[in-house]
Amino acid sequence: MMDLKELKGLGKARLETLNQAGISTLSDLLLALPVKYQDTSVTTPLKEVAPGTEACVSGFPKAPPRLNRFHGLTTVTMRLCDETGGLSVVWYNQPWLQTSIHPEDLLTLYGRIDRDRQGRIRMASPSIVKERGILPVYRTLSGIPPKTMREIIRQALTQLEDCCPETLPEILRIKYHLCERNFALRQAHFPETRDHLAIALRRISFESMLLYQAAAASLRGERAKGIRIDVPENACGAYWASLPFPPTDAQKRVLNEIAGDLKSSRAMGRMVQGDVGCGKTALAFGAIALTAQAGFQSAFMAPTEILARQHLESAKAMLEPLGIGCGLLVGGMKAAERREALKKTASGEWMAVIGTHALISEGVEYRHLGLVVTDEQHRFGVRQRRLLSKKADSAEEAPNELVLSATPIPRTLALVLYGDLDLSIVDELPPGRTPVKTRMVPEDKRDGLYAFIRQEAARGRQTYIVCPLVEESEMIDARSAQETYAELCSGPLSDLRVGLTYGEQESGEKDETIRRFSAGELDVLVSTTVIEVGVNVPSATVMVIENADRFGLSQLHQLRGRVGRGAEESWCFLMAAPNERLRTLCETNDGFKIAQKDLELRGPGDFLGTRQHGDTLIPGMALGADVQMLEETSQCLKWIRSPGYEEEWESLKNSAQAAFARIIDDIAMN
């Protein structure tokens, strides 16, 4: 079989680039699927183009292109016309286009249709089409031009049968109408027709999702022997009775599920998922109480120091009256403070140790660690959770593991993503919570919004203003946090105390800004989505989200959850032109309904953030997966594991373990 380095066009530097991208064999190369396709086979009339879509258009320039300069950036702008109408076009940092495009030239362009800051439809940074067809677009790799990438893929396809064998049993392919793998990979890279591409993407996405679920299911079945916690019959009821508020039926059900896991001889691996405010923290403390009563210690890892300190305050109120000592272990402690914390953790004086990544740092020892709780699943890698589990004093018995997630994910998708964990859903909110009121606000109402923010500040209430960018960009029409902060400080909110925070900000400065806002020393916090998780400020009653149409519904809902945490009426204002997608957010506060709508609108790939990050947890998932396929692959897995298909299940499991070897290494329970 041909080696990767034998392909023409790959020198030492390009091979190194491929290796750094995780491509070291021909098989890796052929499984590096296009991230999208440019369909230049059909031309769209200019009057029919729609914002939010990509299109291939043809026409003549109305006049010679204009060159403009802006803070070191250049733009080339022109008006393209055909017999149906016209369209504005802009290119960034390509000044040579001014002299290479002429009014008498028939120009064919491919690009994304959006709106400029004035709301006018335009095409931004299109490519000039020189080849017609359905063209693959691969992930950008430094030093490997798109044309070179396509050429080396063509060469690799000559070895397809040798390096990419079939992974799915024939009986399964027939039942679910799936094409063979070699046909799918050929058509995925160089589709002959749209129908062939659809058939190929269905096969690849189905395979990717099924194999991932099979890998997770095999891990789940091999869960390690765990530390058994003796939970008395009435222990859950006694815990709820000790609290100043009654539990919801959902909380009672989930704590009973946790108690059943703790009593088992297998290590618990359970995710508790629910909307902001549903009482997941009380459930975590219930699990800690049950564990402590049996003489075992618990570690509770939060994503930020501020959130860890907030959890400690709650733990002292809820657990210390039960005789359970609680303490804090975080990274920024002074030497003497850290020594004291390590001592009380190692001695078992603290039965509940609450902290950040510091809980898994070198030198931290526990006494009879029986339970590991991690808050906000998506902020911790599985490897970090396992490192904490390995702090147990017995190599033979793993501590029980509880994961909390406030990111609503439709149940089927959650089972796909976190297949190594059992799933509990808290689908009920405590009575008396005031839902956050959500409204879309057009640009011409901005002055009224600022007046409302000043009014709320006068009443001692606080406001978040979230922007999609850190700094201003000529290439993206969106408000930046820095630009907004400067504008507000010198303009409409100059009489208020305004702070600024963002992800790349120096860590100490970021923590201090969030601390000041949490302490009520700031009226307004301008930020990026860094505040999405880990900030709990009951006096914050207003959330303003700039360019709300640039965010997914689930992320908007998560941001909205930062307000409405106290008893006061709270508001979320979406700065965007009204549309059907955002109207969903205005109509419901149910995170699971919103997540389901988000999944239906954007598909599983975008739902998981693949467009933003350029990568996906499940290869092939972003290209062809939809909600129906999630259900279909889940049913397929049940079927292939039923009696009579043992040989097929074993074959599928082997394929799954080979396909997801790296992920399995990360999430193996042993």
- What is the SS3 assignment for 481-525? HHHHHHHHHHCCCCCCCEEEECCCCCHHHHHHHHHHHHCCCCCEE
Look up the CATH number of the domain holding residue 323: 3.40.50.300
The answer to whether residues 356 and 489 belong to one domain is no
- What is the distance between the alpha carbons of residues 52 and 50, in angstroms, rounded to a whole number? 6
Burial class (CB in 10 A: 0-12, 13-18, 19+), 58: middle
SS3 456: helix
Token pair, residue 369, equals 């660690």
Of the candidates 111, 71, 108, the one whose C-alpha atom is nearest the C-alpha of residue 93 is 71
The token pair at 21 is: 């991208």
Residue-level pLDDT at 649? 92
Name 165's Cβ contacts closer than 8 Å, sequence gap at least 6.
Answer: 181
Same domain, 469 and 523: yes
As beta bridge partners, residue 114 has 122
Rounded to whole angstroms, how far apart are CA atoms 502 and 492? 22
Last residue of a domain, one of 128, 160, 179: 128
Strands 85-92 and 121-128: parallel
Ranges under pLDDT 70 in the chain = 1, 219-224, 376-396, 410-420, 432, 470-479, 532-535, 602-627, 661-670
Q: Which of 92, 141, 132 is nearest to 109 (CA)?
A: 132
Residue 344 amino acid letter: K
In a domain, 300, yes or no: yes
Region for 618 from its dihedrals, namely left if φ exceeds 0, alpha if ψ lies in -120 to 50, beta otherwise: beta
Burial 266-280 (b: 16+ CB within 10 A, else e): bbbbbbbbbbbbbbb
C-alpha span between 224 and 588 (Å, rounded): 41
Specify the DSSP class assigned to residue 480: B
- pLDDT value, residue 184: 96
Would you state the pLDDT for residue 419? 64
DSSP summary character for residue 120: -
Are both 577 and 451 inside the same structural domain?
yes
Question: Does 284 reside within a domain?
Answer: yes
Which tokens go with 332? Answer: 């920024």
Give Cα separations from 396 to 222, 224, 263 (angstroms).
14, 8, 17
Residue 519 lies in a domain: yes
Q: Please identify, among 369, 389, 407, the residue that sits at the C-terminal boundary of a domain.
A: 407
* Radius of gyration for the chain, computed over Cα atoms and rounded to the nearest angstrom: 28
Q: For 20, which DSSP code?
A: H
Confidence (pTM): 0.66
Burial 10-49 (b: 16+ CB within 10 A, else e): beeebeeebeeeebeebbbbbbbbbbebbbbeebbebeeb
DSSP annotation of 43 reads: P
pLDDT at 385: 56
What is the per-residue pLDDT for 505?
80
Residues 289 and 395 both lie in one domain: yes
Question: Cα–Cα distance between 553 and 538 in angstroms, integer?
Answer: 23
| Bridging pattern class, strands 107-115 and 54-61 | antiparallel
On whether both 318 and 365 belong to a single domain, the answer is yes
| Residue 288 backbone dihedrals phi, psi, to 5 degrees | -65, -40
DSSP readout, 558-598? HHHTTS--SSS--EEEEES---HHHHHHHH---HHHHHHHH
**Closest by Cα among 37, 1, 42, 43 to 187:** 37
Phi, psi of 576 (to 5 degrees): -175, 155
- Residue 290: both structure tokens together: 């049950």
Residues whose CB is less than 8 angstroms from the CB of residue 355 and which lie 6 or more positions away in sequence, other chains included? 299, 300, 301, 302, 308, 328, 329, 330
For residues 598 and 555, the answer to whether their CB atoms sit within 8 Å is no
Same domain, 466 and 518: yes
Assign 449 to helix, strand or coil.
helix
What DSSP character marks residue 47?
G
> Looking at 588, 616, 631, which one is the last position of a domain?
588
**Residues 382 and 447 grouped into a single domain:** no
Is residue 23 domain-resident? no
For residue 79, the domain's CATH number is: 2.40.50.140
Asked if residue 15 belongs to a domain, the reply is: no
| CA dist list (Å): 387 to 262, 400, 550 | 20, 13, 36
Residues 377 and 456 in one domain: no
Opening angle at CA 125, ends 119 and 131, nearest 5: 130
Inside any domain, residue 215: no
Would you list the DSSP string of 377-443?
GGGS-HHHHHHHHTTSS-SSSBPEEEEEE-S---HHHHHHHTTTSEEEEE--PPTTPPPPEEEEE-G
**Per-residue pLDDT tens for 87-113?**
999 998 899 999 999 999 999 999 999
Same domain, 243 and 370: yes
> Is residue 662 included in any domain, yes or no?
no
Range of the domain at 118: 42-128
Q: Which residues contact 87 (CB under 8 A, 6 or more apart)?
A: 46, 49, 57, 59, 79, 80, 81, 121, 122, 123
Q: What is the pLDDT of residue 158?
A: 93
Structure tokens that stand for 552 in this block: 């997914």
The structural domain count of the chain equals 3
- d(CA 35, CA 133) in angstroms, rounded, equals 17
d(CA 30, CA 157): 7
Residues 247, 391, single domain; the answer is yes
CA torsion sign for 382, 384, 385, 387 is: positive
* Token pair in block for residue 337: 């403070």
Same domain, 445 and 400: no
- Give a yes or no: residue 375 inside a domain: yes
Q: Is the same domain home to 535 and 445?
A: yes
